[in-house]
Copies of this chain bind each other. A is one copy, B any other.
Amino acid sequence: MTDGSPEEQIQNAELDQTPELLELYTQFASHHLSPLWTQTSDVLSVHPRSKAVPFVWRWNELYPLAERSGELVPVGRGGERRAIALANPGLGGAPYATTTLWAAIQYLGPHETAPEHRHSQNAFRFVVEGEGVWTVVNGDPVAMRRGDFLLTPGWNFHGHHNDTDRPMAWLDGLDVPFASSIDIGFFEFGSERVTDEASPALSRAERLWAYPGLRPLSGLGETQNSPIHAYRWEYTDQALTEQLALEDEGFPATFGPGHAGIRYSNPTTGGDVMPTIRAEFHRLRAGTSTPTTNEVGSSVWQVFDGSGAMVVDGERRELDRGDVVVVPSWISWSIEAESQLDLFRFSDAPVIERLGFARTRVEHTR
């Protein structure tokens, strides 16, 4: 029991299985009915108990498998993407990292192209290493480089093309499991190749939108997705560096002691970048750790740099660059930094918050 209330198991009704009752249950079944009292303990729980379990995928295992896929599996129409999904061991083989989030490693060989399509599902890319691929979003080529966070929000056409002689792999994040559970997905094919094969350093979206606090007069409305399709590492790094410097100077700036962090936001609202996915970047000084936290909603973390550990549901897991950790809903977690530790995180928090289900418990006893 993790929420402080007295531990109680919700019970089903205990009934003698009389012939009359069994006859009634047969009637229920034939009428497509199901009595609550035989399954109350499944329908209601004292606190969230996700079928998803905490798990770690190692980058040094993921990358070679992605590389091998590059040798054996072509990319193109049919299949659409050379993406390998993290399949939570608790979810019966479904290609889902958590009950709401999809996470995959996508791999594109030299000069390969993943054809354009669009879907209702919201997607992003986060680059833990490499460069040389451009994601083309509604015809706008967006360079991908280490540390960048890149959006392809729902119903935006997008393809990827590798403009170099080297392969590249990155993390894809989507709301596919959530979208599937609420039956909202549309899909449409686009160009067989990307519609603009240019390889500019900056996308047009950035040139129009990526300035601190400045909005173009041509785009004054609220949009449900952020129009900044690329959040560049240089700004993320600088923001985190400054937070720690301000802390050193004695000013409030960090999220916790030694713990800097930014949230990627939609400049037209100040809110999350997409309606179903939150994305953040965290930096912990060497030797610091976070309090143990339980949150409603699930998260996926990827180590960007440094080394340390996460304690998830009481179990300590050492982490290195590129490792991916999933934390299901209401499972406790904390982070410990050996070296300075940089982590990317995404979660379903906007869903949880917009629908009024948010709860957080932070253990301040360290």
* A interface, CB within 8 angstroms of B: 3, 5, 8, 10-15, 18, 20-21, 24, 27-28, 31-40, 43-50, 52, 55, 57, 61-62, 65, 68-69, 72-74, 76-89, 93-95, 99-100, 104, 119-121, 154, 176, 178-189, 204, 206-218, 220, 222, 224-226, 228, 231, 235-236, 238-239, 242-243, 245-246, 251-255, 260-270, 273, 275-276, 280, 282, 296-298, 328-330, 348, 350-352, 354-357, 359
B20 A330 Cβ-Cβ under 8 A: no
List B contacts of A95 (CB < 8 A): 34, 36, 39, 43
A176→B280 CA distance, assembly (Å): 30
Known contacts: A35-B69, A35-B84, A65-B24. The answer to whether A263 contacts B215 by CB under 8 A is yes
Q: Which residue in chain B gives the minimum CB-CB distance to A214? A: B262
**Within the complex, which residue of B15, B87, B184, B261 is in contact with A357, where a contact is CB–CB below 8 Å?**
B184
A265 B213 Cβ-Cβ under 8 A: yes
Known contacts: A251-B204, A266-B213. The answer to whether A84 contacts B36 by CB under 8 A is yes
Q: Which residue in chain B gives the minimum CB-CB distance to A89? A: B32
Main secondary structure of the interface of A (DSSP, over half): loop
List B contacts of A224 (CB < 8 A): 356
Q: Which residue in chain B gives the minimum CB-CB distance to A355? A: B275
B351 A37 Cβ-Cβ under 8 A: no
The 5 nearest A-B residue pairs measured at CB: A13-B79, A37-B79, A183-B329, A217-B261, A34-B95
Provide a sorted-by-A list of 16 A–B residue pairs whose CB atoms are within 8 angstroms.
A12-B78, A28-B84, A34-B84, A34-B86, A34-B87, A34-B95, A46-B188, A47-B186, A206-B212, A212-B228, A213-B265, A214-B265, A215-B270, A218-B253, A276-B355, A276-B356
A211 B238 Cβ-Cβ under 8 A: yes
Chain B CB within 10 Å — which of A55, A72, A254 has the most?
A72
Q: Which residue in chain B gives the minimum CB-CB distance to A252? A: B218
List B contacts of A99 (CB < 8 A): 181-183
A175 CB to nearest chain B CB (Å)? 9
List B contacts of A89 (CB < 8 A): 32
Known contacts: A3-B186, A182-B348. The answer to whether A239 contacts B214 by CB under 8 A is yes
A264→B216 CA distance, assembly (Å): 9
